Amino acid sequence: MIRFPSLLSAVLALFLLVGCGSEVVLTGTVKDTYTQKPIREVNITIGEVSLKTDAQGKYRTPQWKAEDKLQAKAPGYATKSIGLEKFAKERQASVPATVTLNLDLRPNTLKGLVTDAYTEEPLAGVQIVAKQPNLPLTATSILSSTTDKEGKYTLKNVPEKFALSLSLPDYVASEVNLRRKTAYNAALRPATLSGLITNRYNDAPIANATVQVLSTTTKTNKKGFYRLENVPEDAKVVKIEADGFAPLTQELEKSAKLDANLRPDTLKGTLKDMVSGKPISFATIIATQKLTSTAVGFVRIDGQATGQFTLTGLPEGGFVQVLAPGYRKAVIEVKAGSALTNEIKLKPFVAKALYAKTSVVAYFPKKLREFLDQIDRTELNALVVDLKSDNMVDLGLIYYQSNVPLIKELKTSKDLMDVKALLAETRKRDIYTIARIHIFAHDNLLAETKPEWAAQNLRGCKPNANRRCNGKIFYADWDIAWLDPWNRNVWDYNIQLGVEAAQLGFDEVQFDYIRFPNDAKDIEALQLSKSVDYKTNPQPLYENIATFMAQAHDTINKVGAFFSVDVFGYASWTPQANIGQNMQLMAEHADYICPMVYPSHYDLHELGFTNSAAHPFEIVSESLRRGQKMVMNKRARQRPWLQDFTLIWMPKPLIVRYGVPEVRAQIDATDSYKGNAGWALWNSDNEYTFAALKPAPARP
């Protein structure tokens, strides 16, 4: 009975405490939901009571009632409200009276900086959009902002998870999924590339240039400006091309701006005769980095009445070389930053040549010097030199140490004549040089070294002192082996030799024996890699020779040398089906065609004469006249081989001894021919009738 009044008094006291709300303390800590760090300066409102969290994020107040609501607000955080009624029980149990209410506030503000990915400069005006995932696009599901001039932005009321997109014209848009983020900096990559394209030499703008990055292209405007949109991120280089300029490939650096200057690499010009001033219609124009290097730019004009040409591919430094039949080669140096003349004048040239065989050049220096002196003293101005031996003892051997890989492999050359010394001497004397090369005949060495490249004899081959055979090689009369004109290996072997000759410094490369075989008693035993029927279908033979010539002509011209071929004298009268020589076709693929118009080699009663050999002027004149019809309006000019020997393989009464009158008559016939491109004297023993020659003309 004594304890009841005491218990009643305690309950009554507790009731009075709750009722007045002034003795139980409400306390707690406010933390960041993401970091769990305390938040200072949070505004706490409980009924009409307001307070703030301290530096440790704590608050404390005795002034609260069960029916109150606690509201917590802080900049950058979502406001939070909690009813206190449920905490009344804790209050009743508190002795002393303390109720703890800890809070987490979720950040709802995103701040950041947006910069240019290349320059790292801040970007103003970037559209920032946050969208809550899995919600339809509505005004309430999208939050947006824009970066200021410092590239900064603030997004308020963002949810815990959201998709953030950033966009700005001329930049690649970015989108990222964020969770529990209060700060996000971004760098936008420029999506465009723009700049100015100009001429390197004069800074003039280049219009209509193509600018390409991967598959994305654009063109420059009239002022040389371009703008390339949607530049791929994985692009490494930009390519710039414009007509008349060398293409430029440049690495793409981290920049939205790229100016470039292009080097002019095109020469538009006109070729003219230095004497008459008339345009030149047939020519090859090449650009080389060195005088003897292969062309990096090449153009050929054929029948161009105005003489105009456009040469692309000019190097920054090098040479332009012009090869026009009937003219000396023109060489113009190309210097960086210097403009080239648009009009090139060529000096007319009529070659008057002497032939020197390998043995003379290699073993008889006195005789060679006599030849050079005669060229200086007389109307002669050119020298034809064999590169391969025409002597039976080593027929086909190349008489200098060749560096052509194939020739070195086959070991078909020897260091017997000093070609470089010879060319140095001829240059000093201003003598035009021609490298003569036997192609399908008079090259026993190649045939016997590579018998699979040779024509075959169905009856087999019987060796003798001049025939090594090495298989069923076909040998014609005088033990001359024949190579197969269809075999492209033979083509390549000789073209490579011709290229080397040009690079050594010869002005011209001349192919002889560029025909099919016909000079054999057992010609019916001849077998080639392709069958031939010249009697009913000679066209394949003609086309084969023409195709070979086209390849050789193009290749040899590209290293700065003229290209010529020798043909039978009768080939200037009519196509020779049995040997595949058709001057009409051949004239399209050579600079000079050299018919061997030896009067002694024509039919005995040609042109109605009793003996054609006794009429050198008439035979040569008629051959050139007929030949001109064959080459009319085509590239090649005629330059005949003239007879300076006596053909003794004739019945004695028919032998015509050739001396000064006969040699001079042929020269006069050639010189009187309109369109004359010169002549060359032939004597297989190199014994010439120098008395038939006129003195050297006075030099200017």
**Are the CB atoms for 209 and 240 separated by under 8 Å?**
yes
Spelled out in words, what is the top-level CATH class assigned to the domain 351-458+481-518+535-692?
alpha beta
Instruction: Return the pLDDT at 7.
Output: 34
Residue spans of alpha helices (H) in 364-417: 365-377, 405-410
- Looking at the domain that runs over 3-105, which CATH code has it been given? 2.60.40.1120
Both structure tokens of 80: 């939070």
**Are the CB atoms for 452 and 519 separated by under 8 Å?**
no
Lookup result for tokens 């938040």: 39
**Strand duo 592-596 + 637-638: pairing:** parallel
Instruction: Return the pLDDT at 11.
Output: 35
Instruction: Return the pLDDT at 106.
Output: 96
Instruction: Return the pLDDT at 9.
Output: 39
Which letter does DSSP use for residue 64 in this model? Answer: -
**Are the CB atoms for 44 and 52 separated by under 8 Å?**
yes
What CATH architecture does domain 109-188 belong to?
A: Sandwich (2.60)
Tell me the DSSP string of 433-457.
Answer: EEEEEE-SBS-HHHHHHSGGGB-EE
**Are the CB atoms for 560 and 284 separated by under 8 Å?**
no
What does the alpha-carbon distance between residue 113 and residue 147 come to, in Å, rounded to a whole number?
A: 8
Domains 3-105 and 193-262 share a fold: yes
Conformation bin of residue 691: beta by default, left when phi > 0, alpha when psi is -120 to 50: alpha
Domain boundaries, the chain: 3-105, 109-188, 193-262, 266-346, 351-458+481-518+535-692
**Are the CB atoms for 126 and 167 separated by under 8 Å?**
yes
Question: In the chain, which stretches have pLDDT less than 70?
Answer: 1-22, 90-96, 134-141, 699-700
Q: Which CATH number fits domain 193-262: 3.40.640.10, 1.10.3720.10, 3.30.565.10, 2.60.40.1120?
A: 2.60.40.1120
Residue 13: Cβ within 10 Å count: 10
Instruction: Return the pLDDT at 132.
Output: 82
Instruction: Return the pLDDT at 24.
Output: 87
Lookup result for tokens 């030199």: 385
Q: Which CATH number fits domain 266-346: 3.40.630.30, 1.10.10.10, 2.60.40.1120, 3.20.20.140?
A: 2.60.40.1120
